[in-house]
Amino acid sequence: MRVEEFFESSVKLMELKTHEDHRGIFIQCYDEAVQEVCGFEVKQENISISKKNVLRGMHYQWDEPMSKLVQCVHGKVVDFVLDIRKESRTFGESMSFILDNPNKLLLVPAGFAHGFISLEKETIVKYHCSCYYNKQGEGSIDFFDNEINLKNLLTIEKNNVIMSKRDEQAIAFSDYKKQSKF
Domains of the chain plus CATH, in order, are: 2-178 (2.60.120.10)
- Say which of 60, 127, 128, 176 is annotated catalytic: 127
Q: Tell me the C-alpha distance between 168 and 60, whole Å.
A: 15
pLDDT reading at 153 higher than 70:
no
Express each pLDDT in 108-130 by its tens digit.
999 999 999 999 999 999 999 99
Given a contact cutoff of 8 angstroms between Cβ atoms, the answer to whether 13 and 104 are in contact is yes
pLDDT reading at 151 higher than 80:
no
pLDDT reading at 161 higher than 70:
yes
Q: Confidence band (pLDDT; 50, 70, 90) for 154?
A: low
Express each pLDDT in 35-62 by its tens digit.
999 999 999 999 999 999 999 999 999 9
How much of the chain, in percent, has pLDDT values that exceed 90?
92
Q: Tell me the C-alpha distance between 179 and 182, whole Å.
A: 9
Q: What is the DSSP string of 146-167?
A: TTT--GGGTT--GGGSB--HHH
- Say which of 19, 22, 30, 59 is annotated catalytic: 59
Q: Tell me the C-alpha distance between 172 and 156, whole Å.
A: 18
Q: Could you count the other beta carbons within 10 Å of the beta carbon of residue 104? A: 19
**pTM exceeds 0.75 for this model:** yes
Q: Tell me the C-alpha distance between 40 and 37, whole Å.
A: 8
How much of the chain, in percent, has pLDDT values that exceed 70?
97
Predicted confidence at residue 113, as pLDDT, reads 98
Please say if 59 is a catalytic residue. yes
Predicted confidence at residue 166, as pLDDT, reads 94
**Higher local confidence (pLDDT), 170 or 157:** 170
Please say if 22 is a catalytic residue. no
Average per-residue pLDDT for the chain: 94
Q: Tell me the C-alpha distance between 77 and 62, whole Å.
A: 25
Q: Per this entry, what is the length of the chain?
A: 182
Identity of residue 136: Q
